[in-house]
Structure 1
Amino acid sequence: MKSSNDDYVEAIVCQESDIQENEMKSFELGDAGKILLVKQNGKLSAIGSKCTHYGAPLHTGVLGNGRVRCPWHGACFNTVTGDIEDFPGLDSLPCYQVEVQDGGGVKVRAKKAEVKSSKRIKDMVSRDRTVGTTFVVVGGGPAGASCVETLRQEGFRGRIVFVCKEQALPYDRVKTSKALDVKLDSITFRTASFYKEHGIEVLTGTEVIGLNPEAKVLKLSSGNELKYDAVFLGTGSDARRPPIPGADLKNIFVVRTIEDSYGISGQLGPEKNIVILGASFVGMEAAASCVEKAKSVTVIGRDTVPFRAVLGEEIGARLMALFKEKNVLFKMQSGVARFLAGPSGDTVSQVELADGSTLPADICVLGIGSSPATKFLDGSGVDMDKSGAIIVNKHLESNIKGVYAGGDNAYAPILDTTACIGHWQLAHYHGRIAALNMAGKETEVQTVPFFWTMLFGKGVRFAGYAPKFDEVVIGGSLEELKFVAHYIVGDRVAAVATIGSDPVAAKFAELVSTGKQLLKSDLQPDAMAWTKK
C-alpha cells in the first residue's frame, strides 16, 4: 500500500550551524517526536532517536566512527543507514531524509509512524522453494532468533527450520529473573505470523537429541529426523542443580525459563520464607524481585560478599549493603547441606546449612550457575571443551564443516583470547555472525562483551572481559552508587563496571572496539579523567 503525504512529517529542525562535526543531537520533528541528527565527515544524517532494545535516548550515548552506541546496554547502529551492527536487540533504526536549505535550515522528512516507534525491521528476502538448500537453527534464544532473521536479511532464500525446545516463541529471557511475573506476550520477540511471512518454519516444544554430521541429520524429540546443509547450534545453557539431598523436592526452582519464573511467582506470598542458594546475578536478581512479596528472603553464598569474583570485594560489599537496606538477609561463607521436607513429605520446608543450623524455606531458588546444553552432541565428533562448550573458530564454525555454534554453548574467540561467555549481547551477536558465514559472507567475530543488570533501580553495566584481575581502581563515589570501576590486568584496563555513570561503559566498549587500550597510567591522578575526553 502506497504512503500518502499525510503519513509523513517534514520540518526545519535546526540550523546547520547548530551541530558541529562529530556531534549528535536530538531534535523534535514537528509534533511526531524526536529524531537523532548526526554530523560526520561534513555530512548530516538523521535516524531514530531511541535504542530499539529498551528505548534508551541515543543522544546520551557514544558516537563512534559511523555508528552510535547505546548508553545502557551497548547496542550499536550505523549513523547513515540506521542498521543494527552490535547488540542486544533485533530491530534497526529508521533513517530519514535530510536536506540543508538555502539559509542554513536543516529540513528532515520522515514517516510519522517510524518517528514514533524509532524502530525498523531490515528488509528480508522471501523463501524460494526452487532453492534446495536447508539451514537449521537450533535453540530459541537470542542467538537463534538473531540467526534466522539475519539469514533472510542477507539474501538466503532456501529453507530455514527454527527448532525451539520451549513451547513459547523466542522471548527476552533476561527479564524473567528481574520481574518474575512478567507477561510472556510483552517480552516475545516476534509473532508467529512474522516467522510465517518470512518463510521461517518454527518447531516449538521440540528438542534436538542427536546430531549425525556424516549424514547431516538431526534427530528430534518428536521422533522425526531433519536433514540440513548447515546448522547453527544456539542451545544455550542449562541451570545447574546441586547434588544435595532433597534437591528434587517441590518448590525448589531454577530461573531459566518463563515457566520457572511463573512457578516462583505463583508461590509467593506475605507468609512465605524464600531461600536463594547462590549470590550470582540470577540469584540476586531473584532476591530483589521477591523481597517485597514475601515474609523473608535469605541469600546463601559461598564467598565473603556477592559478586566478588566478577566485580571485586568493595563493590560486592556495597551492593550487599544495598540489599540489606531492602531487608534481604544473607548467610555468606556458607552452603546448603540438605533440603528438608515438610509434613507432606514431598515439598521443601527447611534448609539445613553446612554448620547444621536450619532456615525456614517455603520456596528455594537455585542460582548457582549453568552448563552448556550440549549433551546431545556426545559421540557426534563435534569438539567440545571440558565444560561441554562447542569449540568454534573466528567464523563460529566448529571442527566439522557446516556445523556452527554461538551463545552460551560456544567456546569462541573474544578480544585477544577464547572463552565461553554467557552474555545476552554476545549471543545476539554470535547469531548474526554465524548467519553471515552460513550465507557465504565470510565475517570474523569482533565485539566487546557487555552485560548489565538492574538491582533495586540501580543499573549495573559491565564492558570488557576480565575473568581474573590484579586490582580494581574505582573513580567516583561507591557510597553514593555513582562510580566507575576499572579492572586492571597487568598495565591495562581489561574491563569497567559502572553504576550511575552512563555512558561510560559504552564509551569503554567503543574505545576497545577500535583497537585502542586504556592503561592503568591513564587513571592517574584522576581515575575519571578519561571519561570526560
Structure 2
Amino acid sequence: MAQQFKLKDIASLSDLKPGDKIESEVEGVSDGKVLLLNHDKKIHALSPRCTHYGGPLKGGVVSPDGRIMCPWHGACFNVATGDIENAPALNALKTFDVLEKDGAVYISGTEADIKAGQRSPGIKCSASKSDEKLVVVGGGSGTIGVVQGLREQKYTGQITIVTQEPDMIDRPKLSKALITDPSKIRLRSPDWFKEAGIESVFDKVTAVDFDSQSLTTASGKTLPYTKLVLAPGGIPRSLPLPGFKDLSNIFTLRSIANAQSIVSAVGEEKGKNIVVIGSSFIGMEIANSLADGNNVTVVGMEAAPLERVMGAQVGRIFQRNLESNGVKFKLEAGVSKATPSASNASAVGAVHLEDGTVLPADVVVVGVGVRPATDFLQGNAAIKLEKDGSVATDAHFAVPGLKGVFAVGDIATYPYHGPGGNGAPVRIEHWNVAQNAGRSVARAIGHLQHAGLESLKVRSFIPVFWSALGAQLRYCGNTVNGFDDVVLRGEPDNGKFVAYYAKGDVILAVATMGMDPYMVKSAELMRRGKMPSKKEIVDGVDVLGLDL
C-alpha cells in the first residue's frame, strides 16, 4: 500500500527551477533515492538510475518533449510515465506522486517500489486466438526490441522467435568482459518469454518463401507468418589464410559458446601468448580484457587502431590506454599465415606477418568485422540483396515490395536522417541501432493493424554506442559514409576528450572519454536538428550551454 515518504535534500518544491534536477534521499528507506526534476511547469519524481547499467540520470539530458536520456549509453525514458523511449533500457522507471506539506517535500509510493527503481513493462499475454502470426528470425538486440515493443503495445498476435542461440544475451558484454555464464547477461529470463506468450524455436532458418509467407528450418519445420522480421545479426569474418581454418585455438567471438572456448583455451595460468588480429572495437576490447598477466599483441592494418572509424589522433589515445595495461601493437601489418605449435601439430603456435615477424601464439582471436547473416536469402528471386549482403529497407525498416516483411540490425541498410545523412542508405552495426530499429518495427506493425505505413510518422533516433578501451568511450551519430576532419577538445594527452567528427561544416558524430555529458547532450541536439556547425565548435561554442 502506498504511503508518504519525506525527502531529505529539498525543503520546498519552489527550490526546483525549470530544468533543475535533484537526487534526493528518502527518509526511512535504506539506500532509497529518487530524482526530482522540473519539466514543463511540473515537478516529476522518478527512479534516479538508468535501468540499463545504472547510469545516474541526474547527469542526463531532459528534452523539451519530456524525455530524459542517460549519460552513459543513451537510454531514454518518459519523465511523466517512466516508460522506455529509446534503447538500450529494457525496464521502465518507477514514478511517484510529489507533494509539499508542513515545510517539507514528500513522495507517495511503496518502499518496495523505491528500492526496486524499475518496472518490467506490461507484457503479459495469454494464448492468442488472433490470426496474426509474427515470426522473428534471430535472437539478438533487434529481436528483443521487436517482441517487447509489441507486447508493450498490447499486441495480441502469436509471436515466434527462430534462433540458434539458446540464450538472448547482452552481447556487448562478451568482448568487454568475456563473460561465460549466460545467466549473468541474459536480456530476459525464460519465464519472461513464457509470460509474454512468446515461443522460441531453436533452429536454423534455411529458406523463406515470401509468396506463401512461410519459412523452412534445418530440422524440416515449416513456419507460416503474417508478419516477418529478419534480425539474424552478423557472422564474424574469418581469414582465408594458411593455418586459420585447420589449427585449433583460433577463435572468433559472437556467442557465449565462443567466449567459453576462448576462456578455456587461455586457462587460469598467466603468461599466455595471445594474438588478436584486428584493431577493431571487438579486437581492442578482447585484448584489453585478456591483458592481465598475459602477453597480448594486437595486429592491425591501419597506422593507428580504429583509424578509419575514429581518426588517427583518437585511435592513438586508445592505443596508449591499452599499452598502459600491457597490450602490445603491430600496426600497418598484414598477416600471412598461422603455423602449428612444436608440441602439438593440430594447435596454433605462431602467427606470421607479411614483414617476416613471427608472433608466438598460444591463442589467437580474429576480430576483423562481421558480414550480414543473410546466407539463407542468397539466390531468393523475391528479394534482392545489397552488394554487402544486406537487406535494403525504408525508414520504418519495412522491406519494399514484400508484404509484412521487415529487417533490422546488422543485416539492415536503411535511410539515415541524422546530421549529414539526408536519407542516404547506411548499415550500422550498433546494439542500440538494432534495438531501436526493432522498437520502430513494433510501432509499424501495431500501426498496420489500423492503417498503412504511409500515415505513420517516422520516429528517428540517433545511433549511440560505447566501448571499453582502457576507459569508457561514448559515441553518438554516424560516420559510415566518411568524415574529413576531427575537432578535439578537452585533454587528449591525458585521455580525456570530446571529438567532433565533421564533413564540411556539418558535425556528423561526437565521441567522448571522461566527458560523458557532451555525448548525451550532442545526441539530443542531433535528434532535434540543433547540433552546432564545425565553425561554431572551432569558434568556441560549448554544446553544454546550448538550449534544446
Return the TM-score normalized by structure 1. Answer: 0.95
CA distance in structure 1 between the aligned counterparts of 2:379 and 2:346, rounded to whole angstroms: 37
* Contact residue 522 and residue 530 of structure 1 kept, 8 A: no
Q: CA deviation at 1:242?
A: 1.4
Q: 1:472 aligns with which of 480, 486, 489?
A: 486
Q: CA deviation at 1:445?
A: 4.6
Q: 2:432 aligns with which of 417, 420, 425?
A: 425
**1:448 equivalent in structure 2:** 462
1:461 is aligned to 2:464: no
**1:178 equivalent in structure 2:** 176
Residues 413-456 of structure 1: CA distance to partner in whole angstroms, max 9, x if unpaired? 22233211000111110111111111226352500011110122
**1:107 equivalent in structure 2:** 106
CA distance in structure 1 between the aligned counterparts of 2:416 and 2:35, rounded to whole angstroms: 31
1:227 is aligned to 2:224: yes
* Contact residue 276 and residue 297 of structure 1 kept, 8 A: yes
Q: Compute the RMSD of aligned alpha carbons.
A: 1.6
**1:506 equivalent in structure 2:** 520
**1:274 equivalent in structure 2:** 274
Residues 235-290 of structure 1: CA distance to partner in whole angstroms, max 9, x if unpaired? 11010001111112110000111111111111213232101110000000010011
CA distance in structure 1 between the aligned counterparts of 2:525 and 2:323, rounded to whole angstroms: 36
**1:413 equivalent in structure 2:** 415
CA distance in structure 1 between the aligned counterparts of 2:348 and 2:170, rounded to whole angstroms: 30
* Contact residue 137 and residue 144 of structure 1 kept, 8 A: yes
**1:312 equivalent in structure 2:** 311
Residues 283-324 of structure 1: CA distance to partner in whole angstroms, max 9, x if unpaired? 000100111142x11111001010111111111112212222
Q: CA deviation at 1:118?
A: 1.6
Q: Percent identity?
A: 35
Q: Which runs of 4+ in 1 moved over 4 A?
A: none
**2:385 equivalent in structure 1:** 384
* Contact residue 170 and residue 189 of structure 1 kept, 8 A: yes
1:20 is aligned to 2:17: yes
Question: For residue 99 of structure 1, what is the amino acid of its counterpart?
Answer: L
**2:453 equivalent in structure 1:** none
* Contact residue 218 and residue 227 of structure 1 kept, 8 A: yes
Question: For residue 338 of structure 2, what is the amino acid of its counterpart?
Answer: F
CA distance in structure 2 between the aligned counterparts of 1:102 and 1:114, rounded to whole angstroms: 24
Residues 198-245 of structure 1: CA distance to partner in whole angstroms, max 9, x if unpaired? 1111123x1211110001111112211100000111111010001111
CA distance in structure 2 between the aligned counterparts of 1:349 and 1:327, rounded to whole angstroms: 21
* Contact residue 59 and residue 517 of structure 2 kept, 8 A: yes
* Contact residue 123 and residue 195 of structure 2 kept, 8 A: no
* Contact residue 291 and residue 327 of structure 1 kept, 8 A: yes
Q: 1:493 aligns with which of 507, 510, 516?
A: 507
* Contact residue 135 and residue 229 of structure 2 kept, 8 A: yes
CA distance in structure 1 between the aligned counterparts of 2:437 and 2:413, rounded to whole angstroms: 11
**2:93 equivalent in structure 1:** 93
Matches within 5 A, 1:114-133: 114-133=113-132
Question: For residue 93 of structure 1, what is the amino acid of its counterpart?
Answer: L
Matches within 5 A, 1:220-369: 220-248=217-245, 249-268=247-266, 269-294=269-294, 296-343=295-342, 344-369=344-369
* Contact residue 463 and residue 497 of structure 1 kept, 8 A: yes
Q: CA deviation at 1:25?
A: 1.7
Question: For residue 173 of structure 1, what is the amino acid of its counterpart?
Answer: R
CA distance in structure 2 between the aligned counterparts of 1:120 and 1:176, rounded to whole angstroms: 26
Gaps of 5+ in 2: 449-455
Any idea what SS the aligned residue of 2:329 has?
Answer: strand
Q: CA deviation at 1:125?
A: 4.8
Any idea what SS the aligned residue of 2:24 has?
Answer: strand
- Return closer, same or farther for 1:479/1:31 CA change in 2, 3 Å cut-off: farther
CA distance in structure 1 between the aligned counterparts of 2:231 and 2:141, rounded to whole angstroms: 8
Q: CA deviation at 1:412?
A: 1.1
Any idea what SS the aligned residue of 1:292 has?
Answer: coil
Question: For residue 55 of structure 2, what is the amino acid of its counterpart?
Answer: A
* Contact residue 448 and residue 463 of structure 1 kept, 8 A: yes
Q: CA deviation at 1:82?
A: 0.6
Q: CA deviation at 1:106?
A: 3.1
Any idea what SS the aligned residue of 2:413 has?
Answer: strand
**1:11 equivalent in structure 2:** 6
CA distance in structure 1 between the aligned counterparts of 2:358 and 2:376, rounded to whole angstroms: 39
Q: CA deviation at 1:187?
A: 0.7
Residues 384-406 of structure 1: CA distance to partner in whole angstroms, max 9, x if unpaired? 21111111001111021211011
* Contact residue 414 and residue 448 of structure 1 kept, 8 A: no
CA distance in structure 1 between the aligned counterparts of 2:221 and 2:274, rounded to whole angstroms: 42
The aligned length equals 522
CA distance in structure 2 between the aligned counterparts of 1:368 and 1:211, rounded to whole angstroms: 29
CA distance in structure 2 between the aligned counterparts of 1:485 and 1:158, rounded to whole angstroms: 45
CA distance in structure 1 between the aligned counterparts of 2:357 and 2:101, rounded to whole angstroms: 77
Residues 509-530 of structure 1: CA distance to partner in whole angstroms, max 9, x if unpaired? 0001112231112123336x23
CA distance in structure 2 between the aligned counterparts of 1:251 and 1:375, rounded to whole angstroms: 26
- Return closer, same or farther for 1:293/1:401 CA change in 2, 3 Å cut-off: farther
- Return closer, same or farther for 1:273/1:229 CA change in 2, 3 Å cut-off: same
CA distance in structure 2 between the aligned counterparts of 1:255 and 1:478, rounded to whole angstroms: 31
Any idea what SS the aligned residue of 1:270 has?
Answer: coil
CA distance in structure 2 between the aligned counterparts of 1:182 and 1:56, rounded to whole angstroms: 24
Q: CA deviation at 1:151?
A: 1.2
Question: For residue 424 of structure 1, what is the amino acid of its counterpart?
Answer: W
Question: For residue 58 of structure 2, what is the amino acid of its counterpart?
Answer: H
CA distance in structure 2 between the aligned counterparts of 1:340 and 1:519, rounded to whole angstroms: 51
Residues 137-193 of structure 1: CA distance to partner in whole angstroms, max 9, x if unpaired? 1111011012111111112112111112112x2110100111114422111011111
Q: CA deviation at 1:355?
A: 1.6
Question: For residue 353 of structure 1, what is the amino acid of its counterpart?
Answer: L
CA distance in structure 2 between the aligned counterparts of 1:133 and 1:216, rounded to whole angstroms: 12
1:67 is aligned to 2:67: yes
Any idea what SS the aligned residue of 2:170 has?
Answer: coil
CA distance in structure 2 between the aligned counterparts of 1:166 and 1:83, rounded to whole angstroms: 29
Question: For residue 24 of structure 1, what is the amino acid of its counterpart?
Answer: K
Any idea what SS the aligned residue of 2:376 has?
Answer: helix
- Return closer, same or farther for 1:246/1:9 CA change in 2, 3 Å cut-off: farther
Gaps of 5+ in 1: none
Moved more, 123-132 or 254-263: 123-132
Any idea what SS the aligned residue of 2:107 has?
Answer: strand
Residues 489-512 of structure 1: CA distance to partner in whole angstroms, max 9, x if unpaired? 111211111000011100000001
1:156 is aligned to 2:155: yes
CA distance in structure 1 between the aligned counterparts of 2:313 and 2:156, rounded to whole angstroms: 53
